Structure 1
Amino acid sequence: MITVFQTVKDDSKKVHYREKIKGYMDRAEQIKDHVNKLKEEGKYHEQMKIADSSTGFSYESLLKPYIRDGLTEVWVQDPYVRHLYNFLRFCEMLLKCQCKVKTIHLLTSQDEDSSAQQTSALAEIKQSLQSQNVCLDVQYSSTIHDREIRFNNGWIIKINIFPPLFFVGYCDYDLRECHETTVDIFHTKHTKKT
């Protein structure tokens, strides 16, 4: 509509198009304000479908809208934390945000093929986080199968699959090709307590 507006010479039509554009912009602002209100009230559920081989889905792009002041504790549940570089990148993203995360809880399964290496690497990450005044609490479970991230501000992010390693996007997650998956984001105010 803006392109049409720029080509119109008739002043009365310009006024008409200007009013239409203003109406659309006002409505877009109302929708944006409504969504923000729902987010603040915890009544928001977003489901993103990520297509196979799509890019542009880094931790920052997926999670930053839910990382706010007051966030101090994070729970990560992932049964297959084997590529610890991914987990480290997640921790780094939290450190770079304006929030003051003090504790990160990780619940994962023990890597049967290289548990000593996994334990050693997690100990190194724990020590490194301690130097940033962040406590890493690692627990193991052989029965978990879902992946989720919970923030103590109430937000929950469930993701079906994390991307593989060793290709373009290994270091810049915005360039990383994703597997097809679904990401659900919702607030704990509207979940049943079990």
Structure 2
Amino acid sequence: MADKLQGVESSAISILKRAVDLDTSKRYDEAVTCYQEGLQLLLEVIKGVTDVPKKDRFREKMKEYMQRAEELKKFVNEERTAGKQHEQIQIENNATGYSYSRLFSRFLNQFVTNIEVEDPYIRSNHQIYNFLRFCEMVVKSTAPVKEIHLLTSSDESPDLQAQQHEKLGKISESLQKHNIKMIVKYSDTLHDREIRFDTGWVVKIGRGLDIYKAAEGKFAIGFSDFDLRPCHKTTVDIFNRKYVKDTSDSTKDIV
């Protein structure tokens, strides 16, 4: 009987270790299955263990794994449901209320660790400030982001190019203080403008991050608060690339 219990315990530990590895690798569907199988075996072990301290330790671990399994199960179900819909936001000329927080914050959850920004126009001063504001939003969020990748184009003028690289370098140095690594690459053939989160969500904006009109002045309403800043006319498409094959005929206009 003791040998059988020991075998079940070994299996439970092995499966739960596999669940943690899958969880770390963001293979959440598989992780949930392993957590559930491992927990079922761990429950059998707890019922058979007579050593009280050991039983208590197993109960604590079971509680911890159950909580994580429920979090992942909820996340997977929500992502699967939401991912089957292609959302489209039409931002009209001079519209307000479209801060980066409104557009992106819902994707900055506890499962996001990597963000990729593709925008050919992070070159001029105001465009670099736009990117900085995006980074600030990420830092303020509770998402455990470790890396931000920026793919943009270099300015054609050597002097302006040097200034662009210097300013982006300063943003990178600042992000490092918040334990976020920034990786910048340049492409002369880049046309697409989209932001990708490693949970699968993609936000494509016709104008990229440069959706705001210039403020009327440094002391005008909307200069500091992008929710109050008038926008250029543009379209925002939101979809989850994990389910992109299922969304081709399903478009939902949320405005």
Q: What is the aligned residue count?
A: 157
2:164 paired with 1:118: yes
2: CA distance between counterparts of 1:37 and 1:134? 26
Paired-residue identity, %: 49
1:129 pairs with one of 166, 172, 175: 175
1:73-131: CA deviations, max 9, x gaps?
00000000022110000000001111111000000000113101100000100000011
Q: Max radius of gyration: which structure?
A: 2
Alignment correspondent of 1:159: 205
Instruction: Read off the aligned partner of 1:64 and give its amino acid letter.
Output: S
Instruction: Read off the aligned partner of 1:131 and give its amino acid letter.
Output: K
2:151 paired with 1:107: yes
- Superposed counterparts of 1:1-194, under 5 Å: 40-41=79-80, 42-82=83-123, 83-113=127-157, 114-161=160-207, 162=210, 163-167=212-216, 168-191=221-244
Structure 1 length as normaliser, TM-score?
A: 0.76
Q: Give the secondary structure class of the aligned counterpart of 1:136.
A: strand
2: CA distance between counterparts of 1:37 and 1:128? 33
Q: Which has the higher contact order (CA 8 A, sep 6+)?
A: 1
Q: Please tell me whether the aligned partners of residues 75 and 106 of structure 1 are also in contact (alpha carbons under 8 angstroms).
A: yes
Unaligned runs of 5+ in 2: 1-74, 246-255
1: CA distance between counterparts of 2:242 and 2:92? 29
2: CA distance between counterparts of 1:102 and 1:55? 31
Q: Give the secondary structure class of the aligned counterpart of 1:46.
A: strand
Instruction: Read off the aligned partner of 1:136 and give its amino acid letter.
Output: M
Structure 2 length as normaliser, TM-score?
A: 0.59
List structure 1 segments (4+ residues) > 4 angstroms apart after TM superposition.
36-39
